[in-house]
Copies of this chain bind each other. A is one copy, B any other.
Amino acid sequence: MTQHARDQERASPPLRNDGPLARYRMMRRIRSFEERVGELFLRGESAGSMLHLSIGEEAVVGLTDAMEEGDTFTTHHRGHGVFIGRGGDPARMMAEIAGKAGGYCRGKGGSMHIADRALGHLGANAIVGGGIPHVVGAGITARNIGAGRISVAFFGDGAMSQGILYESMNMAALWRLPVIFCCINNQYGMGTRVDRSAGRVDFAARAEAFGLHAAKADGADVEAVHARSLQLVQAARAGEPGFLEIDAYRFFGHARMDKSPYRTAEEEAEGRKRDPLAVARARLAETGVASDDDLKAIDVGAAAEMDAALAHAIADSAPPLASMFEDVFDASTCAPEPQSVRLARVLSEARR
C-alpha cells in the first residue's frame, strides 16, 4: 500500500458498512466535487473541455460501497463519482483534471484518464467500452492467484451498443469469473436517448441471455442500488458474474459545452426529480437517522473539502516539459529519443 493510500484511509471515512448516512455523505461529496469541476472549467483552469459530470448518478455509491478493499474496477469517461466512491482523493483528482503536476497522473491523463492503482482503480477510459474487458482479465487474476477479489466495470448506457461488452460478458459467464458489469444508464449517450440507440431497451435481458445474474435498480434510490449490489457482489465472489443497471438521469449536458438542445426542458425537469441526494436526504430525515443539522453539517463539510480541492488544483504547478518523455515505457528500460536529439545528430556540423 502506498503512503498516499494509507493517508487516504486515515483521512476518509471507512468505505462501507456504516450505512445510509455514510452513503449520503459520499453522494454529497461526489456532487460537490462535480460542481467544483464545473467551476474549474468556467475559470479556464481545466485541461480542455472534455469534462463529463456524474451529477444525477451518485447512487452508484450503492455499488461502490458494496465492494471491498482489494477489489478492482474500471470506469468510463464519466467516472469521477465512482472513483470518489472508492476512496479517490479529490485534491489529486482535481489537480489531474487541471492537467497539473500533482494530479493522479502527473498531468498526463486528465478527467477521462484518472486512476489510482493503490485503490484498485485500473483506470478511467475515454473509449466507450474500452475498460470493460479489463475486468475480465482482473477476474482471471483473481481466479488464478487471487483470494476472493472481484472486479467491477462501470460504464454508461452507450456502451450497451459496443460489441466488446458482449464478448466480455460471455467470457465472464463461460469462465465463471468474479466480475460485475455495471451500466449506469443515464438515458443518454451524448444526444441520443436510449430508445434511439437500442432496438429493445431491456438491458438486463441481454445480460441474462449471456448467462449473467442480472438486475436493474432505481438510480434515485441508493439503498435499492445497495441492496441489489450486495447480492451481486456476493454471487460474483462465488464465481457467478453479474450485471447491474442503475437507472438514473443525466442532469446536465453531455460535456461542459453541451446545452442539451436535443431534449425538452420538461423532460429535464422530470428527470432531475429523480435526485438520489434528495431522496436519500428525505429518507434519512424521515426515519430519524439524521437531523437536518446533521445533514447540513455533512453538506457544508463536503463543500469545504471540495473548495480546498479546487484551490489546490489551481495552485498546483504545470508538469515540467521534459516529463512528456517519461512513462512511455517503464523507467527501468528506455525512453523515446526526443526529436531535438535526433535532429542534432543528423544536422550537427560534426556530421561530416
Using a CB–CB distance below 8 Å, which chain A residues touch chain B? Answer: 161-167, 169-174, 196-200, 202, 205-206, 208-212
Q: State the CA gap A197–B166 with chains docked (Å).
A: 13
Kindly report which residue of chain B lies nearest to residue A205, judged by CB atoms. B209
Q: State the CA gap A167–B166 with chains docked (Å).
A: 9
Please pick, from B174, B199, B210, B211, the residue contacting A174 in the complex, using a CB distance under 8 A: B199
Least CB distance from A285 to B in Å reads: 41
Number of copies: 2
A163-B162, A163-B166, A163-B167 known; A197+B210 contact, CB < 8 A:
no
Least CB distance from A131 to B in Å reads: 15
Chain B residues lying within 8 Å of A162, measured Cβ to Cβ, are 163, 167
Q: State the CA gap A241–B165 with chains docked (Å).
A: 22
Kindly report which residue of chain B lies nearest to residue A171, judged by CB atoms. B199
Q: Is the CB of A161 within 8 A of B169?
A: no
16 A/B residue pairs, CB under 8 Å, sorted by A: A161-B170, A163-B163, A163-B166, A170-B199, A172-B199, A174-B197, A199-B212, A200-B209, A200-B210, A200-B211, A202-B209, A205-B208, A205-B209, A206-B206, A206-B209, A209-B209
Besides A170-B197, A174-B198, 18 other CB < 8 A contacts?
A: A161-B167, A161-B170, A163-B166, A163-B167, A170-B198, A171-B199, A172-B199, A174-B199, A199-B211, A200-B210, A200-B211, A205-B208, A205-B209, A206-B206, A206-B209, A206-B210, A208-B209, A209-B209
